[in-house]
Amino acid sequence: MRQARRIERVPPYHFAQIDRKKAAALARGVDVINLGIGDPDRPSPPWVVEEVCRQARDPANHRYPDYDGLPSFREAVAAYYERRFGVSLDPAREVLTLIGSKEGLAHLVWALVDPGDVALVPDPAYPVYRTHTLLAGGTPYSLPLRLERGFLPDLAAVPVQVARRAKVLFLNYPNNPTGAVADREFLARAVDFCRRHDLVLAYDNAYAEMTFDGYTAPSILELPGAREVAVEFYSLSKPFNMTGWRIAACVGNAEVIRALGVIKTNTDSGQWNAVQRAGIAALGERAEAFIAGMREVYRRRRDVMVEGLRRAGWEVPLPRATFYLWARVPEEQDAGAFAERLLEEAGVVVTPGPGFGEHGAGFVRLALTVEEVRLAEAARRIARVLGR
C-alpha cells in the first residue's frame, strides 16, 4: 500500500519511541523511573473533576459543540488574561478554543504555510513546529538555541532572503526543552522582527505558570505592537494537571485567529462542551491558589534533583521555569547512548536532546513529573552510573 510522500519527510515521534523503550524495560521487570515525558503526575483540581461530571450528565452537552468554542469559555479565557497578564481580549474575535495547544499549533501551520514557504523554527524545540511545517510542504529554517546565548535565537542572523520567504516565527518561553526564559527586551525585538518582515509570531506559552525564584513569565501580548503580529497559545494542561483533557486557547491577532478557525472548522468539530465548562471552573477564582501550590511542588522537586545530581558530580543548571532540567551529558558522551545507559543500568528514562532537533546534541532533558522520593532515588541511581 502506498502512503503519501509527505509521511516520509517526518521523522519518528521521539516520545512514542521513549514509550516503547520504557515498556520493554517494564516487561523485563525493571523498576522504571520515567523522567522522559512532561506529563504531570498530580491529579486535576477536584472542583474541575466535579464540574465535568456534573456537565456530563446534562443532555445539552451531548450534542455538537460550537466550532469556535463556547462563548462562556472564551470569556473565561479573556477574564483570566486580564487578571493574569493585564491583557484585554475580545472573546468573540481574539480567542479561539483548541483541543489542546498541540492541535492548535499544528493547524496554525496549515493556515499560514503554503508549499515552498519557510517557517522559522527554534532548535531544539517542541517537535510539532517542524513536523507540521514539513507535512504542509513548507521548509523549516532552524534557529539555533545555544547555551552561550541563554538559549535565545539570534534573529539578526536570519538571512534577508530567508526572512522574505518566511510566514511564521515560532517562539516558546519559558522554553521546552531548555527551561530558558526570555526577557522583555528580547521579546520586543522579536515583535519588531515580525513586523518588519510581515511574519506571524506564534508564541507557545504552555509553561507560563511554572516559574520560580521571583520570576514571572509574561504574555507576548503585553509587548507594544504585539497584537499586530502575534497569537499566543495558552494551555490548561500543565498548570492545572489537565494534559488528558485537551483544552487550550489561541488568543491575539483577530485575522490569524480567523484563519486558524477556517482550518479547524473544516477539520474538527470542537472540544466537548463539558470539558470547556470544566475549563471555565479551572480558570475561575481558585486558579491562582492552585497554580501557586503546583509551582511550589515543582520548585521543591527541582531543588531535590539538581542537588542530588550535583552531589554526583553532574553540573546541572538550576532553571527559573518549567518542570524540566536540560543538562549537558557528562564527559562529552553521545546523548542517545547516555540515555540508553541510564535506562539499562539505572532504570531511569530521560529524553535525548536530538529528539528536539540537531542542536539538542550533547544534552538530555529530565522531566520532574514524579514525586520527590522517586527523584531522590533517580539521582542516587544516576550517581552510581556516573561513578562507574
Question: What CATH number is associated with residue 211?
Answer: 3.40.640.10
Answer yes or no: do 141 and 156 share one domain: yes
The stretches in the chain having pLDDT less than 70 are: 13-16
Answer yes or no: do 218 and 239 share one domain: yes
Residue 346, pLDDT score: 96
Sheet holding 351-352, edge to edge: 324-328, 363-367, 351-352
Answer yes or no: do 275 and 302 share one domain: no
The string of DSSP letters for 199-258 reads -EEEEE-TTTT-B-TT--PPPGGGSTTGGGTEEEEEESTTTTT-GGG--EEEEE-HHHHH
Residue that is last in its domain, among 247, 267, 286: 286
Answer yes or no: do 62 and 200 share one domain: yes
Contact criterion met (CB below 8 Å) for 212 and 323: no
Answer yes or no: do 243 and 120 share one domain: yes
Residue that is last in its domain, among 234, 265, 286: 286
Residue 14, pLDDT score: 64
| Residue at 349: amino acid letter | V
Distance from C-alpha of 222 to C-alpha of 211, rounded to nearest angstrom: 18
Answer yes or no: do 247 and 135 share one domain: yes
Residue 19, pLDDT score: 75
Residue 2, pLDDT score: 80
Distance from C-alpha of 74 to C-alpha of 89, rounded to nearest angstrom: 9
DSSP state of 354: G
Q: Copy the grid coordinates of residue 258.
A: 480567523
Answer yes or no: do 236 and 282 share one domain: yes
Answer yes or no: do 159 and 228 share one domain: yes
Please tell me the total count of domains within the chain.
Answer: 2
pLDDT digits (tens, 9 = 90+) for 214-231: 999 999 999 999 999 999
Answer yes or no: do 164 and 149 share one domain: yes
Residue that is last in its domain, among 269, 286, 303: 286
Residue 187, pLDDT score: 98
Distance from C-alpha of 200 to C-alpha of 93, rounded to nearest angstrom: 17
Residue 358's domain spans which residues?
Answer: 5-44+288-387
Is residue 315 classed as helix, strand or coil in its secondary structure?
coil
The string of DSSP letters for 21-71 reads HHHHHHHTT---EE-SS----SPPPHHHHHHHHHHHT-GGGGSPPPTT--H
Residue 13, pLDDT score: 66
Q: Copy the grid coordinates of residue 254.
A: 483577530
Beta strand pairing call for 166-171 and 200-204: parallel
Q: Which residue has the cell 513569565?
A: 217
Residue 25, pLDDT score: 83
Residue 11, pLDDT score: 76
Answer yes or no: do 154 and 293 share one domain: no
Answer yes or no: do 16 and 102 share one domain: no
Q: E strands within the chain?
A: 33-34, 95-98, 118-123, 139-144, 166-171, 200-204, 230-235, 248-252, 324-328, 348-349, 351-352, 363-367
Q: Rounded to whole angstroms, what are the CA distances from 258 to 43, 112, 124, 231?
A: 34, 11, 29, 11
Residue 356, pLDDT score: 96
Answer yes or no: do 80 and 160 share one domain: yes
Angle separating helix axes 128-135 and 101-112, nearest 10 degrees: 40
Residue 15, pLDDT score: 65
pLDDT digits (tens, 9 = 90+) for 20-38: 878 888 888 889 999 998 9
